Each structure stands twice: as C-alpha cells, then as structure tokens.
C-alpha cells in the first residue's frame, strides 16, 4: 500500500479522530477509521491501526473495542473530564460577571475540544442569569496572573485604577496617580474579583476591584505588611465586608426570626452560634465591618431581624434610618 503524503502525522490524526468522533455513546468502525485517515491523505491497513490504537493507550488515550455483529466498534473511554464536570465549568464561566463575553466564548471553545463533537454540542448551553452584565476589561486575566506572579516573587505592584463617570466614560482615579501596593491575595465577593493588599502609605489593608486595575506592573520593592496578613483569614475578611466595603470591625448582636436561619448560615457559615431567644427568635453575634452596606443588608430583611447591640451600632442604624426618611420627605 503506497504511503500518503502526511504519513508522519498518522498517530496524531488517529488520536484526533478517536477523541473527536467517539465517546461512551458513539463508536467508529475500522473502515471508518481508515476512511477518516484518508481524508488527511494518510494511508493505513488494519494491522498498523491496531498497533497505533495500542500506542495511543500508552499515551493515556484509552480505546475500547466492542464486537458488534461481524465487526468491532471502537471508542474512547475514561477522559480527563466527565461531561457533567465540563457542563459545570461551562455554567460557571457563562454566569461569571468578571469574564468578558469574548473570553467566555473562547474558554468554552477550548473546553469543547476536551470531548467528542457530539458531547461538544451539549456544552453549547445557555445559563440565564437575571441582569447579567459582563465586564468589558479584556486584560483582567493578565492582571490576575500578574498579581499571582508578584505574590510568588514577594514583590509590590504598581497600577492605575479607574472609575466610571456620568458620561459612561472610564476615568482614572486620583488624576491617574500610580497605586503602589503589596499584594497578599485575591478574594471573590459579590461576583467580583478583588485584590487584597497592604497600602504602606496608609498603613492598612485595602482591596481593589481587579477589573478596574489598569497597566499593572511588578515593582522591584519587596512586599510589606506581612504582620497584618499573618493574622488575617482571607475568607473571613470577605465574609465580614459587605459588598467589600470597609469599616470598623465590631461584634454585632442580632435578634433574628427563625425563618431567616438559612440567610444567616449562608452569610456567616454553619459554625455561627445561634442562641434561642424564644420560640420564634434566636440571638447571633457576628463580626462585621460596620458600613452602610451592612446596615442596608439588615434593613433589607425587614422586621425579621434587629440590631440589639452594641449601642454604638444601634445608634448608627437609627441615624441611617433618619437620613433615609429625610431624603424622601417632600
């Protein structure tokens, strides 16, 4: 049998054919394999293909042959990712606010290459999230990578930070001044990525929306603020900061109706201690950063929840309510 012009790519093309055209439900016969190879201008006889299929198994692509009627049908088994796992990843990508529309499509296309063409169609699904707004900052992935690199190298980073104005235009904050921050971690909160770092000039921990960071670069200076982060639980930090808005950290005592037990556990975790107050209410003590966002969260839950201490926080809630009433007076 004369050799085809692309014979040296035979094993690669065979792997491609098996991975793209077969799965747990779809098989391919030996004549179909030979025909598919011929489309790539590769010739092969049965004996050489049998040997190549065994070589593919040595490379980690497990092929199973099943006798059906008078012939054998072949398919790939045991892929790195099962279809339900890839569906979960696709759903997470589509529903993620910080991933741009273009990058969403590109990532899903890459995931589709990990399954057969039949299963790839099942990955082309649409997750509908109310009011979904995708970020427009295409550089966010490189920003995240740069932050991780700086953390690994124990270096500070420099960047500019932007905000939106009323004309829906991006404008640099602080007249385009460069922020010089020691990065210590990344936090995910309220569907956004945040850089959590130490501001040496202010002498405190700060956080920044990653999708609003521009022109990031690694500094030659080593990071500062290690003593602050040695006693900081990053997940706990995000949990205490409502909407990642900062404020003075305090232990707040809440009187909560039993119907909100799920809300409390979702927000503060199952380890939170809930002390029964009466048949319909319980008391819970939570450590939070006191901000309007926290007070707004309490307010949004209506009469089912009440701040009962400390007095300082109760007074802040009263003042906030008075401010809101005054704001809407005619």
Average pLDDT over residues 150-155: 94
254-303 pLDDT tens trace: 999 999 999 898 888 888 899 999 999 999 999 888 888 889 889 889 99
pLDDT for 261: 92
Average pLDDT over residues 176-201: 88
Right CATH for 7-77 from 2.30.300.10, 1.10.287.1260, 1.10.10.10, 3.30.990.10: 1.10.10.10
pLDDT for 130: 45
Give this prediction's pTM. 0.61
- Which of the two residues, 15 and 266, has the higher pLDDT score? 15
17-62 pLDDT tens trace: 999 999 989 999 999 999 999 999 999 899 999 999 999 988 889 9
For the ranges 69-73, 184-188, 215-219, the maximum mean pLDDT occurs at 215-219
CA distances from 55 to 12, 49, 50, 60, 81 (A): 11, 10, 9, 9, 21
Q: Is pLDDT above 90 for 14?
A: yes
pLDDT for 330: 64
Residues with Cβ < 8 Å from 214, sequence gap 6 or more? 139, 159, 160, 161, 162, 172
Query: In percent, how much of the chain has pLDDT > 70?
Result: 89
Where does 242-327 sit in CATH, by number? 3.30.70
235-259 pLDDT tens trace: 666 666 655 556 678 899 999 999 9
- Which of the two residues, 126 and 93, has the higher pLDDT score? 93
Enumerate the β-bridge partners of residue 105: none
CATH class of 140-232: mainly beta
Average pLDDT over residues 191-199: 87
Hey, which bits of 165-212 come out as E strands? 170-172, 179-189, 192-199, 204-209
Q: Is pLDDT above 70 for 135?
A: no
Listing DSSP states for 42-93 in one string gives ----HHHHHHHHHHHHHTT-EEEEEEETTEEEEEEE--SS-HHHHHHHHHHH
Task: Provide the residue ranges of all domains of the chain, joining segments of one domain with +.
Answer: 7-77, 83-123, 140-232, 242-327
DSSP state of 3: P
């Amino acid at each position: 049998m004369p050799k085809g012009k692309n014979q040296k790519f035979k094993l690669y093309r065979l792997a491609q054919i098996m991975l793209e055209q077969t799965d747990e439900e779809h098989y391919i016969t030996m004549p179909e394999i030979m025909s598919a190879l011929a489309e790539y201008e590769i010739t092969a006889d049965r004996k050489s293909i049998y040997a190549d299929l065994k070589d593919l198994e040595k490379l980690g692509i497990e092929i199973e042959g099943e006798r059906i009627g008078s012939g054998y049908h072949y398919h790939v088994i045991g892929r790195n990712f099962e279809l339900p796992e890839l569906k979960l990843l696709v759903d997470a990508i589509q529903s993620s606010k910080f991933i741009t529309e273009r990058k969403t499509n590109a990532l899903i296309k890459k995931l589709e290459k990990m399954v057969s063409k039949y299963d790839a169609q099942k990955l082309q699904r649409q997750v509908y999230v109310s009011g979904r707004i995708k970020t427009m900052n295409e550089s966010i992935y490189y920003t995240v990578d740069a932050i991780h690199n700086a953390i690994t190298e124990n270096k500070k980073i420099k960047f500019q930070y932007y905000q939106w104005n009323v004309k829906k235009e991006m404008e640099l904050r602080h007249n385009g001044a460069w922020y010089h921050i020691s990065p210590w971690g990344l936090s995910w909160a309220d569907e956004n990525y945040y850089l959590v770092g130490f501001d040496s000039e202010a002498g405190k921990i700060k956080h920044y929306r990653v999708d609003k960071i521009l022109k990031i670069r690694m500094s030659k200076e080593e990071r500062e603020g290690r003593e602050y982060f040695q006693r900081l639980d990053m997940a706990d930090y995000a949990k205490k900061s409502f909407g990642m808005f900062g404020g003075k950290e305090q232990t707040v005592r809440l009187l909560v109706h039993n119907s909100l037990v799920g809300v409390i556990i979702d927000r503060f975790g199952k380890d939170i201690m809930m002390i029964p107050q009466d048949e319909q209410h319980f008391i819970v003590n939570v450590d939070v950063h006191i901000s309007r966002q926290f007070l707004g969260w309490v307010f949004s839950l209506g009469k089912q929840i009440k701040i009962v201490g400390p007095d300082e926080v109760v007074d802040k809630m009263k003042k906030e309510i008075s401010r809101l009433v005054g704001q809407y007076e005619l």
